A and B are shown apart, each in its own frame.
Chain A
Amino acid sequence: MNRQIIRLTYVALVLVGVLVVMTTYWQTWAAASLADRQDNAIKRVAEFSIDRGLIFSFEPRKRLARNVEREIGGKTLFFRRYPYGALAAHAVGYSTVARSRTGLERSLNDYLTASNANLSTVVDKALDELRGRSVQGSNVVTNLDLDAQALALEELGTRCGAVVALDPRSGELKVMASTPGYDPNLVEEHFGEISSITADCTPAAPLLNRGSAGLFVPGSTFKVITAAAALESGRYGPEAPFVDPGYCTVYGKRVNNFDTTRPFGAIDLTNALASSVNSVFCKIGLKLGAKQILDTAKRFGFYERPPLETPLDERLPSGLYRSGQLYYPRLDSDVDAGRMAFGQERMLVTPLQMAMVAGAIGFGGKLQEPHVVDRIVAPGGKVIEDVKPRLIRQAVSKKTADSVAAMMRLAVERGTGTAAQIFGYSIGGKTGTGETGVPGANTTWFIAFAGRDDESPPELAIAVVLQNQSGTGGETAAPIARIVMQAILQGTENP
């Protein structure tokens, strides 16, 4: 029987050996992906013993997230407080015991808890642990301009909407405001108060960051892309002549201008954009086809999630959507290019994406990566991540960008966007009114860039969106854009 017993011994030892292998697998190979899972309450709770890194605004330098220490069961635990409450809630997010993290608290968790794989933090952390001290996380400095952020929220008021402002030269994100907002200090124990928030829109969705995860009908702001596509195609110049009858015929049906009572008659492309004439862009769309316009949109970042430091699922790609899914047509005939060209036809965009479009147009066609993080600093003061400007791509040629920029300047000078004029600055903008067919339920837009003069690169790009409006983009969104832009531009002038 001994031969059998020896074989059985091998079987028994292999069985236990498999357990050693699998323990190794879970504790080394799979540990990181398990730690990232949102339902991993053990990791989440364990990380409360870490002196979590702070999160700062850029200007003025304030603590957006800080810690309070509490002794529980002989252990020092660190709980989050957000001194400015709802002010930067959507970008910063929250870190609580009860719920999984959001915002930068989630995406930068490895830095904030010093568990990023970096030699110096690994050594520091091990030393902290050996000394029995609390591990200290790294601090994050954001690009957020707290005063402009506060002003944007104040201007949005009780309306549902968002304001996103960035520096198109560097991609620094200065404002990321979304309403209705919420106080992240309430998440831990009073989440019911947040879920019962109501607003001028349903669902109110206060936790949703409308700036980067809200999808809206772009309306006429999309004409900026159509105009760029038209110029890039070489078939049209800025002075290309059109005749506006007040409507455009698509598949034998009439698609009307915003105001059908006063057709413009003979008009060139530049004035058509400044006055936002639907029929002109409808004709361009039919001529170019949907795919050519969409390909230009892709050059501006459509059909991909904008690269920001916030969590992946808090940033949505812009583009055509069909039954909740991003959709790219296989054939030109799959999409009504005429209506798409002026921003209807299931085109959905985020304010962040539209701010990037406005910025790239103003900045000679250069699309810069947006950044909400300025730098990450280890507890000793060593800068471990210093975010530098990065070009995504030259979206369109400088010539095209400059021509479209001139059209947008004309729109602010004497077109639909006059409400955004700021004395002493050169502003180019585009209004948008996405009609839902229900009165008082329009989505209104204003996107713009602003610089010292027509020649120097713009210092600021902005996108403002409002839900459920009865007015137009020029009447509702453009004034907000002006106030926020003025605060940032003149704030930097007189520090």
Chain B
Amino acid sequence: MDIVDILIGAARASVGVQAAAFALAAIGLNVHYGYTGLLNFGHVGFMLLGAYGTAVTVHHGGSLWLGILVGILAAVAFGIILGLPTLRLRYDYLAIVTIAAAEILRLGARSPSAEPLTRGVFGIQQFADSFYDLNPLARGRYGWGDFAFSHRVLWVMLVGWGLVALATALVWLLTRSPWGRVLRAVREDEDAARSLGKNAFWFKLQSLVVGGVIGSLAGTLLAVDTQSVNPDTYQAVITFFAYTVLILGGPATRLGPVAGAIVFWFLLQFTALFLTEAIAVGWISESLLSRQEVSAVRFALVGLGLMLLVIFRPQGIFGRRQEMLVDA
């Protein structure tokens, strides 16, 4: 067993495109849940729209850039459609409606009747070539030793983390402003905000749309990275990964989603590699845990880690403990 290999493998995952995409998704969710207190349990729906908006547009002859725009506009529309009927009601209605709406989108994209548009269960592949054509990096591998990436992967990583930086900056600009102050007031007590002349509904709708658009970019990034969209990728569990990342980093903090994503993917990959190695060298007997079960067990272990985190550091990595204490 080589612990260095395992650490390098985990480190690669923690800076990979998946981590960047989940950082982006969690930044969007942070606007919803962290700053506004909106319980959006259908974040994966926004991601699906970003991914499919791009793939479907290119598949039907549009350019990739038009596709990304379509993804963003679809997310705006989805946010408005979800928000208009639910945001005047109590917060739990939004939770119910979003989780159902995300499933509707997934099943809709999957259905045979949608095949002319989405190709149903077959999904759409190879739609992001024009993105890779723009790659300014020369062919080859970049990095040190085993911690190296091909020019193709590095290009997506650079763009992905660039998007993360942009989204972080956007959210920072928004939340330090009076606009962000109203969001936090709505989160703390909507009636208080209304009694002071703030249109809570309008701010919640804006929050839902802004966070949703950021979430849709996460979906686009994942789709471009794999050059493939398939409805079954967009299960509800993706939403809960995004929540995990957010709570790990600390809701309503600026760098929390980014740190959360890095740590989450590091732990996930570390556990998987470690367990696989441990089985290979015989520390864990095959009869107790087979290699096929590793990917399931790692989630259980990461879940255990999260429980410990919530018990011992409920504010997350970047959260302020004092803020948790005034909640009582």
A and B from one complex:
no
Q: Which residues of B contact A (CB under 8 A)?
A: none
